Amino acid sequence: MTADITVFETKKIITMYPEQPFAEAVAVKDGRILAIGKLQEIVYWLKHSSLGPYMVDTTFNDKVLMPGIVDAHTHVELQALIYSGHFVGQIPWPRVEGGFYPVYPSKAEVLNRLMDLDKRLPPGDPLYAVAYDENKTGEFLHIEELDAVSTKRPILVSNLVFHRFWANSALLLKAGITGNNLPPGVQSDESGKPNGTLFEAKGLMSVLPALPDLVNITNERIRYILPLFTRGGYTTVCDAAVGVFGMQKAFATFSGLLHEPDNRIRIVALPWAKTGVAEAGSLENFIGWVKDAAKKETDAFRIGPVKLYTDGSIISRTSPIGWPGYWDGFPEGDMENDPKEIREMLIRCHEAGLSTVTHANSRPGCQVVLDAVNAAQTLKYRPDMRHRIDHAYNITSSQLQRAKALGVTVQFFTPQIYYYGDAHLKLQGPDRARHITPTGTAKRLGVSWGFHNDPPGTPQLPWVGAWATVHRQTLESETILGPEHCVPVEDALRAMTIDAAYQLHLDSEIGSIEFGKKADFCVLEADPTEVDPMELKDIPVWGTVFSGRPSPAL
Ligand SMILES: [Zn+2]
């Protein structure tokens, strides 16, 4: 007879349950936590119970368990897209198979790589390259440079945060973009001709009809990238733009995929309102679609808050950062969506009982969200909605105070401090750069906060995110950006587990190792609270336990 209860003996369990912070063993039954504590005690009570046979599993007796990591803001579909491209990045991106892609420090090296790819790809196939960082190379790409790679093959290069793109003439021609009548998001030179730069989703959308295969996000392409999550120690992740390539299609893809018996990730879909409303025909229909999808939720596929979007990206210089503008003289950015429209959508979602997550980097962007939540709560008071602001680079202390009063939670993009803190110093000046993603202020004011890697914004490496949250040290100059915002390792661990679960209204099910919760664990080779904090980003991850099943990283 096989045991239907497994007791995992470990070196240490960090529970994230303050009333019982540590333990040495955890018993699991039916994918749930049956008991947590000392091995001897658990075994004693199991022996004296009628719950059935049990076995003690010693696989983890030299390992440290903590709750499975919860990523409150990542992109599953978008990662499936970028991992179908060729990496031309300036920072190391993890390969799904393990290890990292090579880096190309200068624009010349990137162009050489593109030429090499052009020689190797079948004639006529598009060349899609990803993760180019204009801040690290110090140079934008130009249409002539991409035309020098090929005038026949369509070429698209995305910058790493996915807010700026470059196209060659062949791609623009294929997309029907010529002459002076350019669609929104397609930039031109002084003579009115396109210069190859596309910015924000609107620019990308204008060429996508010429690349239909690229955005056909199939089950296989999603399945291919899922091991990235297990390798980090994640057991629940949010896709923060579900439906950007078709909402009903995405719902169907995810529910099918996550139903498979070897699945080892829970995905929370944040329905992307902009394209979702267009696809559904109206905001009311969209709300109806979201509610219908929520009725069909499974344990592995959940519908989360509705995703809204205010401003662009600061390091892509598309966000309106406010007085006195960008310090490198670049023109001020714009709101990507009409604030009135955001406000209306947020209020309607709130009235309908749907929580929201809004992308907002700049102070004006954060203010749009706070004003909208205030208006929504004035029109119809709904306690405990946990509306959320995501990224929140430049949120001020008074805005955080307002967030606290309104019950608004924040998700910070702290890995940007490590990867792009030096660029923020140049773009925003020292004061704003020092206080980006102000974790210290959020903590002091008691605002619920978390952090995320937001690939393709930065790679799917949670421990780099934790390290950046703890140390706030920049990559190139090793400046500590705002030492007053540094937090202890324990705070970072809470942010990536129970606090992220709370923000998703899932804290009764996941996020801590407590009786009755789902048996989702992150399995580590070392104790994150004991290692030298400078080594936190390289902490070895064995894999996960998903729903009680050990799942080693591939
Ligand atoms: Zn995102």
Domain boundaries, the chain: 85-210, 305-486
**Does a cis peptide bond (omega within 30 degrees of 0) precede residue 324?**
yes
For residue 392, report the distance from its CA to the centre of ligand 1, in Å. 12
Closest CA to 88 of 106, 73, 61: 106
Alpha-carbon dihedral sign for residues 418, 422, 428, 432: positive
CA distance 194 to 179: 8
Are the CB atoms for 70 and 504 separated by under 8 Å? yes
Which residues pair with residue 266 across a beta bridge?
Answer: 236
Which residues pair with residue 166 across a beta bridge?
Answer: 157, 197
**Does a cis peptide bond (omega within 30 degrees of 0) precede residue 456?**
yes
Are the CB atoms for 477 and 527 separated by under 8 Å? no
State the pLDDT at residue 316: 80
For residue 128, report the distance from its CA to the centre of ligand 1, in Å. 20
For residue 74, report the distance from its CA to the centre of ligand 1, in Å. 6
For residue 481, report the distance from its CA to the centre of ligand 1, in Å. 23
Residue type present at position 468: A
For residue 454, report the distance from its CA to the centre of ligand 1, in Å. 5
Unique residue bearing structure tokens 């009982």: 353
Task: Output the CA–CA distances (angstroms, integers) from residue 405 to 378, 401, 402, 441, in the order listed.
Answer: 13, 6, 5, 14
Unique residue bearing structure tokens 């994230």: 16
For residue 456, report the distance from its CA to the centre of ligand 1, in Å. 8
Are the CB atoms for 348 and 287 separated by under 8 Å? yes
For residue 240, report the distance from its CA to the centre of ligand 1, in Å. 6
For residue 452, report the distance from its CA to the centre of ligand 1, in Å. 9
The encoded tokens of residue 147 equal 């035309």
- Dump pLDDT digits (tens) for 155-211: 999 998 888 999 999 999 999 998 777 898 999 888 888 999 998 888 998 999 999
For residue 509, report the distance from its CA to the centre of ligand 1, in Å. 24
Closest CA to 324 of 430, 399, 436, 429: 429
For residue 22, report the distance from its CA to the centre of ligand 1, in Å. 33
For residue 79, report the distance from its CA to the centre of ligand 1, in Å. 11
Nearby residues of 152 by Cβ (< 8 Å), 6 or more positions away: 123, 124, 170
Are the CB atoms for 227 and 492 separated by under 8 Å? no
For residue 170, report the distance from its CA to the centre of ligand 1, in Å. 29
Superfamily of domain 305-486: Metal-dependent hydrolases (3.20.20.140)
For residue 417, report the distance from its CA to the centre of ligand 1, in Å. 16
For residue 239, report the distance from its CA to the centre of ligand 1, in Å. 8
For residue 290, report the distance from its CA to the centre of ligand 1, in Å. 19
For residue 73, report the distance from its CA to the centre of ligand 1, in Å. 6
The encoded tokens of residue 7 equal 């007791």
Could you count the other beta carbons within 10 Å of the beta carbon of residue 99?
8
For residue 210, report the distance from its CA to the centre of ligand 1, in Å. 24
For residue 308, report the distance from its CA to the centre of ligand 1, in Å. 11
Are the CB atoms for 169 and 147 separated by under 8 Å? yes
Which residues pair with residue 271 across a beta bridge?
Answer: 242
State the pLDDT at residue 215: 85
For residue 455, report the distance from its CA to the centre of ligand 1, in Å. 7
Q: Which CATH number fits domain 85-210: 3.40.190.10, 3.10.310.70, 3.30.1180.20, 3.10.129.10?
A: 3.10.310.70
For residue 484, report the distance from its CA to the centre of ligand 1, in Å. 26
CA distance 64 to 518: 18
For residue 72, report the distance from its CA to the centre of ligand 1, in Å. 10
Burial (0-12, 13-18, 19+ Cβ within 10 Å), 482: buried
Closest CA to 314 of 399, 201, 391: 391
Are the CB atoms for 398 and 369 separated by under 8 Å? no
CA distance 101 to 94: 6
For residue 68, report the distance from its CA to the centre of ligand 1, in Å. 21
The encoded tokens of residue 391 equal 């990224």
For residue 216, report the distance from its CA to the centre of ligand 1, in Å. 19
Q: From first to last of its 554 residues, what are the pLDDT tens digits of the chain? A: 467 999 999 999 999 999 999 999 999 999 999 999 999 999 999 999 999 899 999 999 999 999 999 999 999 999 999 999 999 999 999 999 999 999 999 999 999 999 999 999 999 899 999 999 998 999 999 999 999 999 999 999 999 888 899 999 999 999 999 877 789 899 988 888 899 999 888 899 899 999 988 888 899 999 999 999 999 999 999 999 998 889 999 999 998 888 888 999 999 999 999 999 999 999 999 999 999 999 999 999 999 999 999 998 888 888 899 999 999 998 888 888 899 999 999 999 999 999 999 999 999 999 999 999 999 999 999 999 999 999 999 999 999 999 999 999 999 999 999 999 999 999 999 999 999 999 999 999 999 999 999 998 899 999 999 999 999 999 999 999 999 999 999 999 999 999 999 999 999 999 999 999 999 999 999 999 999 999 999 999 999 999 999 999 97
State the pLDDT at residue 317: 85
| CATH topology agreement for domains 85-210 and 305-486 | no
For residue 241, report the distance from its CA to the centre of ligand 1, in Å. 7
For residue 161, report the distance from its CA to the centre of ligand 1, in Å. 9
State the pLDDT at residue 2: 66
Residue type present at position 198: L
For residue 413, report the distance from its CA to the centre of ligand 1, in Å. 9
For residue 366, report the distance from its CA to the centre of ligand 1, in Å. 15
CA distance 283 to 356: 14
Q: What is the DSSP string of 214-234?
A: TT---HHHHHHHTHHHHHHTE
Closest CA to 305 of 257, 359, 230, 235: 359
Unique residue bearing structure tokens 């007085």: 323
In degrees, rounded to 5, the angle at the alpha carbon of residue 71 between the alpha carbons of residues 365 and 37 is: 135
For residue 245, report the distance from its CA to the centre of ligand 1, in Å. 15
